[in-house]
Structure 1
């Protein structure tokens, strides 16, 4: 949310004086100021940008960009733009603009709140005494409503099972979230929420241009989108691991002309050490390059950086990296820290037969499908016969929809039953959908959690996950992303024009698994106390026997279970912040 906070009270009646109470606390305690008032609306905010609609018809909080041209940041809406917003109940804001914003539109006795997809400006909401209260974070709700916040245990169990699949229900009792790509409408008598954007629209376009033309298009859209996000910054720190996604971002920032310093967080584990790739990229881009190490002592598994957030998304092992990059960026005088987070998902880093299934469904069994099958066979080290057989079955003998993975290793059977099945507004595939597109969209659902912002002196975000870039990537047929035995091929083609080819087309990928294992080994006894005597165990959510088995294991950590158990510990630490 880049240091923007807000709270809004919406409702014509206020029998209990709650609106006045919210105003007094928002201004007197939290330091917010009045940002917009209208019949039935009181909005208070601090920091960030604001773009008013004409005719006093509303206000947009945050950064909002026009889609056309250089995608400039909007300072105010013209009368014609405002008329279009009112005529479409705000739909034109989604169709003609993008960014990290929240729009409040007042017309005809109703209030419409619009949140675009992939925005890092949250919108939590609840109902109190006939008023609807919206806020950027839990701390504001607690302070301005003088209310206690308690965990929603069923939602927490589902969060653990689904790696945080994002739904309207949060992990806090009574608090919901207006999800990205949704519109909330409030009248005196009713509240309704409906979608105003869907990734399926972009995926259905299936751009048929050549791979070279698609690479050109992706680069141009990404460059313009990233330039728009950093247009008012003089110096940024770009986290550069040396992998494809961070290298792609660094090349984009270099192309904008913005001053940048490339920062690599080093690793003593060979599996996570990519410094030779990172230095090659920085040299090619003529950018200053710095390395910084992670300090294991900076990790406190009993602490959650997600305090004040509606879901336990922060990872304890990331604390050391965050402290290191915040400290270095401050010493450099950087105004923002940018990373390539979500690039794997955006650029379709699949290792699956679904791209072959897509091509079979669209073109039949011909040279194109065989070529894609050969690429997938090389990528996954499977035989061509195996890939084709699985692709045939995927294309014609299974529904197109993506099945969200479920992890129940440390969740009790009773908690699993209480939590219910996973669901998400984008998981339902429309008629005629391709399974590969469903998988790509499933990847983008996971990206929603990467956008969660945590407090810090220097703003951090992932510029690749911007609506124009997402729409561009989803429109590329899945099979186009595979070439030379690699996935993410369209992005590689674009990047290879700016950095050494051995970086753009590298197959290996660094991993933080070694550091995660160190965190686990160092904190075994702390984790034992935290988990076995914790709230999750007391609520019957944690399978204590399964946790005990992993915590009591002798010898080095070798399986993925230590990482899964650390996720459970992250949730336990978050619950204790409420």
Structure 2
């Protein structure tokens, strides 16, 4: 949602900490730093830096129950709760877009939020381990010598969108969604700390409307909370289901505008639906077009990521978003991206894996295989191959 950049550095040897942090601040021009024990955080915006008694949080943390407001330095009882119960309190009582580092029992526990919304990459230099929002910041800080990891690159090209810890840059790893890193004086290890299976209801209710009510309440609470720190919003809409749900959840916000981007071909022109949505919401709608002039095939739309992904047409879409942000002065951009995986149009073979793990080789699994083939237009062989990979 915002361009927050951070470095979290865990020092195993603190003798050179002062000089190293001074060098990083000078090289990167980042705005603020804070230290707690062996942990030092350097951030682009001090508003997103939260000091804990024996740790540091970067980003936004929300209580799982109560008002949808990010906790701050005035919430002393909540900060003490996080420190007292450690990582268990984070997962059980809080959520948000964050990465937290806690010092506990001679180790440092680093956990990005389980959704993976807050990127986290790391390099181990022996005397310290550095975590960052993006590889370019590590390079600017002098903490990453950029070289291609050909094995990592080949894995990404083969496994496509399946997440792996190794990146395509030598020495750089990423913390996967649902994982945490434990840094000790002698090394580090990565552990799974969260799984969506913990939230799967294996005894469905006889009243499906209960799930609809819970889903509506959860989405509304999350959208309201995540947008609350920002004074003005830009929402990318198509008039389809996903972005319309986000827009409806923001209906009470007056300081917002919507953007839809169309193609010259009618099949890619959703302005009619976006106009109907914004008319109902009484919200300003900006309309733009994909332009070939915004696409330079010599540039990657994911040059900021340490692995190959993305599509070249994203350059045109991103250019349209930047123009809209400039025109409206918006402080954050929201989209309905990811909704396809929740509500309707998944291109993944993972539902086949889920069905197989739940039922084994069954008629139900074969039905799911058939449905994935119908949805994606691929053959059963291709779909099954994607599943096993």
Q: Which band: TM-score by shorter chain?
A: 0.7 to 0.9
Which consecutive unaligned segments of at least 5 residues does structure 2 have?
none
CA contact 1:25–1:143 (8 Å) conserved in 2: no
Q: Which residue of 1 aligns with 2:306?
A: 310
Q: Which residue of 2 aligns with 1:59?
A: 56
Q: Which residue of 2 aligns with 1:92?
A: 89
Distance in 2, matches of 1:286 and 1:346, equals 27
Which consecutive unaligned segments of at least 5 residues does structure 1 have?
382-389, 391-401, 407-420, 423-578
Quick one: structure 1 residues 288 and 39, their matched pair in 2 at CA, closer, same or farther if it must change by over 3 Å?
closer
> What does the per-residue CA deviation read over 1:426-464, in whole Å, with 9 as the maximum and x for residues that have no partner?
xxxxxxxxxxxxxxxxxxxxxxxxxxxxxxxxxxxxxxx
- 1:9 corresponds to 2:9: yes
> What does the per-residue CA deviation read over 1:496-532, in whole Å, with 9 as the maximum and x for residues that have no partner?
xxxxxxxxxxxxxxxxxxxxxxxxxxxxxxxxxxxxx
CA contact 1:14–1:129 (8 Å) conserved in 2: no
CA contact 1:22–1:145 (8 Å) conserved in 2: no
- 2:250 match: secondary structure: helix
- The higher relative CO (CA closer than 8 Å, separation ≥ 6) is in 1
Q: How many pairs does the alignment contain?
A: 372
Q: Which residue of 2 aligns with 1:448?
A: none
Superposition deviation, residue 150 in structure 1? 0.7
> What does the per-residue CA deviation read over 1:333-365, in whole Å, with 9 as the maximum and x for residues that have no partner?
32222111000102253599969x79x97xx99
Quick one: structure 1 residues 115 and 109, their matched pair in 2 at CA, closer, same or farther if it must change by over 3 Å?
same
- TM normalised by structure 2 equals 0.84
Superposition deviation, residue 404 in structure 1? 7.5
- 1:10 match: secondary structure: strand
Alignment of structure 1 residues 430-441 onto 2, 5 Å? none
- TM normalised by structure 1 equals 0.58
Report the RMSD for the aligned CA atoms in angstroms: 3.3
> What does the per-residue CA deviation read over 1:229-249, in whole Å, with 9 as the maximum and x for residues that have no partner?
111334322211122212222
Deviates more, 1:83-92 or 1:243-252: 83-92
Q: Which residue of 2 aligns with 1:405?
A: 386
Q: Which residue of 2 aligns with 1:153?
A: 150
Distance in 1, matches of 2:100 and 2:5, equals 14
Which is richer in strand? 2
- 1:114 corresponds to 2:95: no
CA contact 1:32–1:44 (8 Å) conserved in 2: yes
Alignment of structure 1 residues 304-453 onto 2, 5 Å? 304-349=300-345, 405=386
From 34, 43, 46, the equivalent of 1:45 is 43
Distance in 2, matches of 1:116 and 1:208, equals 29
Distance in 2, matches of 1:404 and 1:71, equals 43
Q: Which residue of 2 aligns with 1:29?
A: 27
Superposition deviation, residue 214 in structure 1? 2.0
Superposition deviation, residue 292 in structure 1? 0.9
Looking at CA atoms only, which structure, 1 or 2, has the larger radius of gyration?
Answer: 1
Quick one: structure 1 residues 78 and 265, their matched pair in 2 at CA, closer, same or farther if it must change by over 3 Å?
closer
Distance in 2, matches of 1:45 and 1:299, equals 31
